[in-house]
């Protein structure tokens, strides 16, 4: 039987992990078996720069935290070596970085994940990984909003360059008369 001190420490770890799971928008559970220290350091650096929190956890502690956070479906994959990457703001960063790493390292595998408090399939994790970053998506949307305005501005500029509205109408009328 574990001592009361150790039991309290484990309860604190589970409580902190539960809070982390509840406050994150996305999380990815991986098996880090076979990863070298150098690769792990680089992976952690990439994740940290993207605002993703990555932690190696014991399966029993993650299982209890997942149950308390309403993510009990994660328990099915909690075997062997386990680490979890969570993000409080970015929906795709963890999936993108970990999927890229898993593609280049055969022993490193993605086990499962969740999105907005719901456990998702590996297919959805792979789909998330293929999405562009938030900044790229915002730039694409802003470009779509900006395109009609830019086209209108170019048309107005073309009219001004050709001598104004009256001159353009006169040219059109002359072209119509010739035809």
What pLDDT sits at residue 179? 66
Q: Is 82 helix (H, G, I), strand (E, B) or coil?
A: coil
The mean pLDDT of 108-130, rounded to a whole number, is 86
pLDDT in tens, 34-60: 888 888 899 999 999 989 999 999 999
Is residue 117 left, alpha or beta, with left meaning phi > 0 and alpha meaning psi from -120 to 50?
left
pLDDT in tens, 151-166: 777 777 777 776 666 6
Residue 108 has pLDDT above 70, yes or no: yes
Q: Taking all residues of the chain, what is their mean pLDDT, rounded to a whole number?
A: 84
Residue 31 has pLDDT above 80, yes or no: yes
CA within 13 Å, CB half, 149: 5
What's phi and psi for 161, nearest 5 deg?
-70, -30
In order of start, what are the domains of the chain with their CATH numbers? Answer: 4-131 (3.30.70.1730), 135-178 (no CATH)
- Would you give the DSSP letter of residue 65? H
- Site of tokens 């993703």: 52
What pLDDT sits at residue 163? 65
The mean pLDDT of 100-128, rounded to a whole number, is 86
**Distances 147 to 126, 133, 143, 160 between C-alpha atoms, Å:** 31, 21, 6, 20
- Would you give the DSSP letter of residue 79? -
């Amino acid at each position: 039987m574990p001592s009361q001190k150790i039991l309290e420490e484990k309860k604190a770890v589970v409580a902190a992990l539960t809070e982390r799971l509840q406050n994150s928008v996305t999380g990815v559970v991986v098996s880090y078996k076979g990863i070298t220290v150098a690769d792990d350091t680089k992976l952690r650096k990439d994740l940290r720069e993207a605002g993703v929190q990555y932690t190696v956890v014991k399966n029993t502690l993650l299982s209890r935290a997942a149950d308390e956070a309403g993510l009990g479906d994660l328990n099915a994959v909690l075997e062997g070596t386990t680490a979890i990457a969570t993000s409080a703001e970015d929906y795709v960063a963890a999936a993108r970085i970990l999927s890229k790493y898993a593609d280049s390292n055969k022993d490193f595998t993605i086990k499962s994940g969740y999105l907005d408090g719901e456990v998702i399939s590996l297919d959805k994790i792979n789909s998330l990984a293929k999405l562009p970053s938030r900044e790229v998506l915002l730039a694409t949307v802003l470009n779509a909003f900006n395109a009609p305005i830019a086209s209108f501005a170019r048309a107005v500029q073309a009219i001004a360059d050709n001598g104004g509205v009256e001159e353009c109408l006169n040219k059109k009328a002359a072209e119509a008369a010739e035809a």
